[in-house]
Amino acid sequence: MGMKTAATVLAATAGTVLAAMYASAKLALLRKHEAVIYTEHDGEGPDIFFISDIHRRRISRKLIRKAGGPFDAVIIGGDLAEGGVPEDRIRRNIRRLSGLGPLYYVWGNNDREVGEGLIRSAIADVGGSVLDNESAELLSGPVRWMLVGTDDLSSFNVDVEKAFRNVRRGDAVIFVSHSPNVFDMLGSRDPELRMAGHTHGGQIRLGRFGMLEKGRFRSDNGKVELVSNGYGTSLVPLRLGAPAESHIIRLRAIKKHSNGEL
């Protein structure tokens, strides 16, 4: 094979790979998870829709139809937008997500690039809540389900103590932050479910190897952790080995007795 032929083959192969990576970035999996949480009482838990790292991407009507709902909480786990995203796209994305259920949002490291006022206004216009070191009650009853969210690390304003101030003993806690690094700041607090995005699963991976850890869902001994690959992309609109995704999480509470039996 001559040099010219080899270069042509190499260029064609690279083009094919890039086209596949671009197509991968435009798709999105809707992952469905179910988990049992151990609490002081049996009871139904919330149904949650979680999406993070939308960045410049549009929320499609197809995704909304596929997700269905209604959900007890629709949670945007930060990086709803980034610098240069048009206001009308941001507002349209928020409106579409709010059609699935009550909307809750935590800041990502890129969101304030479009202006904090714009984000707050767009969330407020659909009756949503910004959880910057705040909590909200999702469900009451034998088990009270509390959603707790913090500001992003980039703001230097993460206040875990303030975020948890309305949480009582016996509450089932769903904790959300944009970066999973905030999990290390929880101290002795051990939420039943913790969720984050930010990493994009490394976005471009070669087999097992990537710049950051691939997204994961873990359920073990009544505790659940979700780190999402995210829905959009940053820097380049390409993905490889870390597919875009959003999530449906269905939770149920089971009483755990003092002897450890269920």
pLDDT for residue 260 is more than 70 = no
SS3 199: coil
Mapped onto helix, strand or coil, the DSSP state of residue 243 is coil
Find the helix or strand (DSSP H, E) in which 24 lies.
Answer: helix 3-26
On the 0-12 / 13-18 / 19+ scale of CB atoms within 10 A, 64 is middle
pLDDT at residue 203, rounded to an integer:
72
Residue 204 is predicted with a pLDDT of 77
Of 156, 150, 158, 117, whose CA–CA distance to 132 is shortest? Answer: 150
At 235, is the pLDDT very low, low, confident or very high (cuts 50, 70, 90)? confident
- Report the C-alpha gap between 116 and 141 in whole angstroms: 35
pLDDT reading at 246 higher than 50: yes
Q: What is the pLDDT of residue 17?
A: 47
Cα Rg of the chain, angstroms: 20
Q: Is the dihedral of CA 30, 247, 65, 91 positive or negative?
A: negative
Q: Which residue has the higher pLDDT, 44 or 27?
A: 44
Is 145:171 a contact under the CB 8 Å cutoff? yes
CATH of domain 3-255: 3.60.21.10
Reference 31, options 232, 228, 239, 237; nearest CA is: 228
Number of other residues whose CB lies within 10 A of the CB of residue 114: 19
Closest CA to 145 of 249, 52, 62: 249
What pLDDT, on the 0 to 100 scale, is given for residue 213? 82
Task: Tell which residue, 202, 246, 204, 205, has the closest CA to residue 226.
Answer: 246
The reported pLDDT for the residue numbered 10 is 45
Neighbours of 105 (CB within 10 A): 25
Give the bridge partners for 73, in sequence order.
48
3-class secondary structure, 8: helix
Confidence of residue 180 (pLDDT cuts 50, 70, 90): very high
Q: Choose between 39 and 97: higher pLDDT.
A: 97
